Amino acid sequence: MDILHAALLGIVEGITEFLPISSTGHLMLASKVLGLAQTEFLKSFEITIQLGAILSVVVLFWRTLFTRIGMMVKIAVAFVPTAVIGFLLYPLIKTFLLESTTVVVWSLALGGVALILFERWHTEKEGAIDDVANITYPQAALIGVFQSLAVVPGVSRAAATIVGGLLLNLKRRTIVEFSFLLAVPTMLAATGYDLLKSASSFADANLGVLAVGFLVSFVVALLVIKWLLRFVQTHNFTSFGWYRIAIALVFLLFIL
């Protein structure tokens, strides 16, 4: 992997982390297109550059994250299900799921169909929760359960949490914002645990590559978050469902 590869993967990460299209899945597919071998370093790189995207959330929402104790507790409650499931399934995720392009492609396709059908069926109810501060603890825990589905590459953490929140009668902007906030402990934990397990894969020569991917993903994610908050005011996620199906078909027909 060189600096150009790192920058391209950073762009992919920054664009896809907070959209309902699976950042992990897109990073795996992008690596395949770029001809990068699935080494231990690449697997850890794909997880670690997500910290750049997560840092963008901290910059934009630091007041909500660090000055509202109740919100911090709700985020912690939502994080617990994913933490438990991720810890228990880490060997499977690292050694099988993160190596299976087939799993990613089918997850993208089926997730796209599910997203389209959900948006066709879903209607926002009167009295839907319009502020993250009004999310209850049970609702936070259930959103965390939905998020845990994203341990399967291609499912999309953002899609799982957003659909879960909409089912729990949250307004679209509210669950999108909560999904941003929940990403912070989720990805910090995933990255930290991965680094403990695979620190030996980070040779000094790779630190510059990692820094480029981190910085690029941070800048791109800042722009995407601001755009998405405007987008959800007037749009649903059907277009993302069709995109997921289209990208999956391209890989099934021409690349795999």
Q: Are 132 and 181 in contact (CB under 8 A)?
A: yes
Q: Where are the domains of the chain?
A: 3-255
Greater pLDDT, 219 or 97: 219
Q: What is the pLDDT of residues 158-176, one digit of tens each?
A: 999 999 999 999 999 999 9
The Cβ of residue 63 has, within 10 Å, a number of other Cβ atoms equal to: 9
Q: Is 255 exposed, middle or buried (0-12, 13-18, 19+ CB in 10 A)?
A: exposed
Q: Is 229 exposed, middle or buried (0-12, 13-18, 19+ CB in 10 A)?
A: middle
Confidence label for 197 from pLDDT (cuts 50, 70 and 90): low
User: Given this model, what pLDDT does residue 142 score?
Assistant: 95
User: Given this model, what pLDDT does residue 178 score?
Assistant: 94
Q: Is the pLDDT of residue 111 over 80?
A: yes
Confidence label for 243 from pLDDT (cuts 50, 70 and 90): very high
- Say which range, 3-12, 102-111, 203-212, has the weakest mean pLDDT: 203-212
